[in-house]
Structure 1
Amino acid sequence: MRSLLNMFARPKAEYHSLYEGVVAAAREADWYRGGKVPDTLDGRFAVLSTLLALTILRMEQGEEETVRASVHLTEAFIADMDAQMREEGFGDPSLGKQVRSLVGALAARVDRWRPLAESDRLEPGEALTDAVRFSLYRYDPPEEAAETLVTEKLRRFHEGLGGASDRKIMAGQLA
């Protein structure tokens, strides 16, 4: 039975580059310096989960293999959050609840960005501003210049995903 399941499952190592590519994009200092996203665990999570949401939405538009890989990307996120929470000292009784909360936050971002991401370009307007504020600032935006910088970074990230082949995305070549 185990060998039968292995025929359908890809080794998780194949998705390491993809997840690491999103993490690398989330670590760019501009989010926190120029964009004024708080450089805290919550702020870093906000950037990571927003970029993951945009990546997942792009992958859902790809070939069947890419759509399946979006599930593995989410699994890599869950495994990383579990490991991070353990490092922060969360114990088993509360760990599941905390990780579920983080997964819920990712799902909320996917839902918030879905209507915007369906176009080739994130169009300026109230919906985009609302999504940026919800995802990164929790409706407490910084000055206009910082919010504009973050919005443009998100637009470029989204456009880069839209212009990349499925193969490049799955290899973690997101820039």
Structure 2
Amino acid sequence: MIFGYFSRKRKNREIVDRLYRRLTAIARNPAFYARMHVPDTVMGRFEMLSVVMVLFFRRTDGKDPALQQLAQDVVDTFFEDMDHSLRELGIGDQSVPKRMKKLARMFYGRAQSYGTALNEGAPLALSAALHRNIYPQDRTDKDQLQMVGAEELSELAQEVMRLDKWFLERDEAELLAGQLTQPDDSIVQENQTNA
């Protein structure tokens, strides 16, 4: 009996890790950083991973309890990864919890603003939220900020909306098995086939 419990936990861990790797791969697509000028920095990657995680949670929200538990395990993995990344960057043990609280507030704020814009089908509101979070005005790298134009921002918002649609179309069995396939019609697929 107890061995079955550990076997189940290990299998669930494998599914969660596989899903998290897929979500991370989608967020780290080079097109976001090269074509759409998302800053290729720790915070830029956090922002894109946050976007992808929000889309994943929209798909799992209010669904099957097993799917909700899977989503919780994935978000736990996300924050464990953020904690580990902060420590790798040399943030002291006493500062990490404070930074983690800030990252959690940032993430849940983004989840609310992106979710509202997507629920309303409001590309302009989504563009505004993406601009505010991904391309903040107080950045020190003014050259990169100036490179971000309406075209790149619009393309990013359109891609987020395409990815949202793609996530919403995923079958529950696919997600529960951790078999998240690659988006077919998005830049993520284009980039991986061209690489």
Unaligned runs of 5+ in 1: none
**What RMSD, in angstroms, separates the aligned Cα atoms of the two structures?**
2.2
Q: Aligned AA for 1:156?
A: R
Q: Aligned AA for 1:151?
A: A
How many residue pairs end up in the alignment?
167
Bigger-Rg structure (1/2): 2
1:65 equivalent in alignment to 2:66: yes
> Aligned residue for 2:134?
136
C-alpha distance in 1, partners of 2:119/2:151? 26
Residue pair 2:60, 2:68 contacting (<8 A) in 1 also: yes
Q: Aligned AA for 2:20?
A: Y
Provide TM-score, normalisation by structure 1.
0.84
Residue pair 1:161, 1:169 contacting (<8 A) in 2 also: no
Question: Equivalent residues in 2 for 1:108-147 (5 A)?
Answer: 108-118=109-119, 122-124=121-123, 126-138=124-136, 142-147=148-153
Q: Secondary structure at the match of 1:62?
A: coil
> Aligned residue for 1:154?
160
Aligned residues with identical type, % of pairs: 22
C-alpha distance in 2, partners of 1:108/1:133? 14
1:173 equivalent in alignment to 2:160: no
Deviation per CA, 1:111-145: give whole Å up to 9, x if none: 112223336xx443x32222222332236682112
Q: Aligned AA for 1:47?
A: M
4+ runs deviating over 6 angstroms: none
Provide TM-score, normalisation by structure 2.
0.76
